[in-house]
Structure 1
Amino acid sequence: MKRLFGTLVQPSVVINALKIALVVGTVLNVINQGEAIWGEANLRMDHALLNYLVPYCVASYSAAKHELDRQKK
């Protein structure tokens, strides 16, 4: 578990996960809060943040797990 957390904070993992979260989070926000973006409803900031946080977590965990599996070989 300690190795996983160490890998999660590596700059290459963090930067890659941020890039993915930016793209995927933006798409999710347009899909989930399109009315708010276009001014027809109120923007839910908690939902907007989750739309970026979830892809970040998935991407960083996947990259870290892949790196640890690669190191085992």
Structure 2
Amino acid sequence: MRAATMTPVMLTGHITRRTAYKDLYNLSDSTATVFIKINRKNWPRNLTVDDKTKVEIVGKFDREFVGFDKIKVIDIRPAN
């Protein structure tokens, strides 16, 4: 991904797995897999997700000097 840090993004895909790092997940679609960070406060209480659930996320791209580039999720909801 070649975006400036804190660039707003909206992505649709499937959360395929939770990584070993706190609040860090993989979001995949038919073209790529990206890391997304979902803080507990941004996860809706009534939303249950598995790898077959298509979701839409709104967030900001977070470019890291060291470590993983990721999307910081502001909102997550089921995709239509």
TM-score by structure 1 length? 0.23
Q: Which has the larger radius of gyration?
A: 1
Work out which structure has the larger RCO, using CA pairs closer than 8 Å and 6 or more positions apart in sequence: 1
Higher strand share: 2
TM-score by structure 2 length? 0.22
